[in-house]
Chains A and B, each alone.
Chain A
Amino acid sequence: MTARDRSARAVAAPTAPAVPVSPAAGPGTGPAGVGLAAPADPSESPGALLAAIELHKRFGATPALDGASLRVDAGEIVALMGPSGSGKSTLLHCLAGIVGPDAGEVHYGTRRLSAMSEAGRSALRRGEFGFVFQFGQLVPELTCAENVALPLRLGGVGRRAARERAHAQLARLGVDDVAGKRPGEVSGGQGQRVAVARALVSEPRVIFADEPTGALDSLNGEEVMRLLTEAARTAAAAVVLVTHDARVAAYSDREVVVRDGRTRSLAG
């Protein structure tokens, strides 16, 4: 080994973070985060619940995705991190079948999203996916309980059953007291919990959360993340979480960094 190799290695080895307390590992909550070492090519590891392979997407002259790949296993919580404008939301929209990539494939289980009809993708989103955004996702004219019941109603669940499930879900998230209020009458933190309840109520296999705490203060943000991840783990739902906040990402099992429309993968 040359001196240059050695010093290259010294620079490459990450410094153990200086933490005021040693992180005593808590009870098992999924695999340790090794996002950068995970295989970039989802075809290398079959059996993923959700996989994006070499996605490209432009908006006019703007390249939003430039060869982004990602795999998400069942029940796994993956954080997408990276600077603003790097393509995180576009990647999430492609994974959820909201936006079609110009090139590349998204697989959900054995299905290829691009091979499905728009109606098929729409049914998939309703039946298997849940969504939480930064804000503006609740229908202002409906009560919180009606908002939570909405995905069930759209999926053909009867009024009474939908209402009962909505109330139970609101209770699980500690916001049953706002069931009869409209979104405009509740606080930001309560509104996000209602949104989480709505995302979870149809027992999705994947929850897509784009900056779910972006409009909340620290305390409410922590609470929403704790509830969201606890509920997802209990339901064995996978979560694709877009965030630029490391404390939010720390609720995930691993992180994937998106930069300039590409997912970064550092081997070793």
Chain B
Amino acid sequence: MSIGHTLLGLLEAGPRHGYDLKRSYDERFGHDRPLHYGQVYATLSRLLKNGLVEVDGVTPGDGPDRKRYAITEAGVTDVEHWLTQPERPDVYLHSGLYTKLVIALLTGRAAADVLDRQRAEHLTAMRALTRRKTGGDLADQLVCDHALFHLEADLRFLELTAARLDALASALRSPQADEARP
């Protein structure tokens, strides 16, 4: 994700100090990985250099957070352009989930157990997200739903795989299996 564009987008709501910007970012997007102050100030100074933000006011005192930043016309255009660019669809071919399943099948272990344990783990995460969503504001709902739909997709994959287990197991153990894989 582009931190620069995200900070710019947040600045569109109104001028802010670096600290407020970081807090607002962390609230919305940083549940996993809050921004470091260093990242925030480095990004802001890049945006400043490129004319996408300007210093809107300086509070007396010292420390890095004396400046208040505002988005410029060029900054708004940049956000607008960024929003028109679709994101690359994420695919999860290297996920540990997939790997474990294949190894379980290749080694003749009970893949159904792997699936059911994984489902329990996923549902635990999904429950926590659902609780957060039902108690949260619209931004919470969005972020939780995004995660929930992804986890659901994993589970659907698991369900489908469970339904295909027998066929998969024999295909994977056959000698041609390696050539047959893309």
Contacts and interface: CB of A to CB of B under 8 A. Distances in A.
A21 B125 CA distance: 10
A266 B116 CA distance: 8
A26 B129 CA distance: 8
Contact of A24 (B96, B109, B132): B132
B148 to A, nearest CB: 5
Contact of A15 (B97, B112, B113, B135): B97
Secondary structure type dominating chain B contacts: helix
B48 interface: no
Contacts of B100: 10-11, 15
Interface string A11-43: 111111111111111110100111111000000
A12 B146 CA distance: 27
B129 A33 contact: no
Contacts of A245: 152
Contacts of A17: 121-122, 125, 151, 154
Interface of A: 7-8, 10-27, 29, 32-37, 81, 83, 226, 230, 244-247, 249-253, 255, 257, 259, 264, 266
B160 to A, nearest CB: 10
Interface of B: 31-32, 92, 95-97, 100, 103-104, 107, 109, 112-114, 116-132, 134-136, 143-144, 146-152, 154-156, 159, 162-163
Given A14-B117, A15-B97, A33 B31 contact: no
Secondary structure type dominating chain A contacts: loop
Count chain B CB atoms within 10 A of each CB in A12, A14, A17, A255 and give the residue with the most: A17
B150 A19 contact: yes
Given A24-B31, A255-B123, 8 more contacts: A16-B121, A21-B31, A21-B146, A23-B125, A24-B128, A33-B123, A250-B129, A264-B116
